[in-house]
Amino acid sequence: MRNTARWAAALGLTAAAVCGPLTGAAVAAPGAAPSSLYAPSALVLTTGHGNDAATATPERAVTLNCAPSASGTHPAAAQACAELRGVGGDFDALKPADDVMCTKVYDPVVVTVQGVWQGKRVAYERTFGNMCVKDAVGGSLFAF
């Protein structure tokens, strides 16, 4: 019993040091159950023409939720989530398909991703030479 009390006190002090004092409306009720068994994976993806996100006007935006199941406004949510899981959520690991041939016409397209992937904050931006190159990378993830 004594070790349990020490453990609870140490855990409480650690939580206070990491999370700050427990005050305000954001504090969960004692004994409240977590809302999900899965770490959140909810993303907003945008695409637009331009050299970077600061100068491009978003032309399309979709939502993609991957936990506990694939959903959102992404037209191929299940495939997009599978592709992301296949690279461990590392957007830089997405490579173009070998069988796609694109012209070298430079018409830059920028893609941004903001949100949470398996409980971790994500902020990603990538500029592709043209729409064909964008569509070749990541299969269905950036095809919206």
* Nearest one of 91, 93, 96, 139 to 117, comparing CA atoms: 91
In whole angstroms, give the CA distance from residue 125 to residue 54.
Answer: 10
Sign of the four-CA dihedral 11, 16, 17, 18: positive
Query: Quick check: pTM over 0.85?
Result: no
Higher pLDDT, 61 or 7: 61
Query: How far apart are the C-alpha atoms of 127 and 120, rounded to whole Å?
Result: 23
What is the pLDDT of the chain when averaged over all its residues?
79
pLDDT in tens, 100-121: 899 999 999 999 999 999 999 9
Spans of all domains in the chain:
36-136
* Whole-angstrom distance, CA of residue 7 vs CA of residue 91: 40
Structural fold of domain 36-136: Subtilisin Inhibitor (3.30.350)
Question: Can you tell me which residue has the tokens 């729409």?
Answer: 131
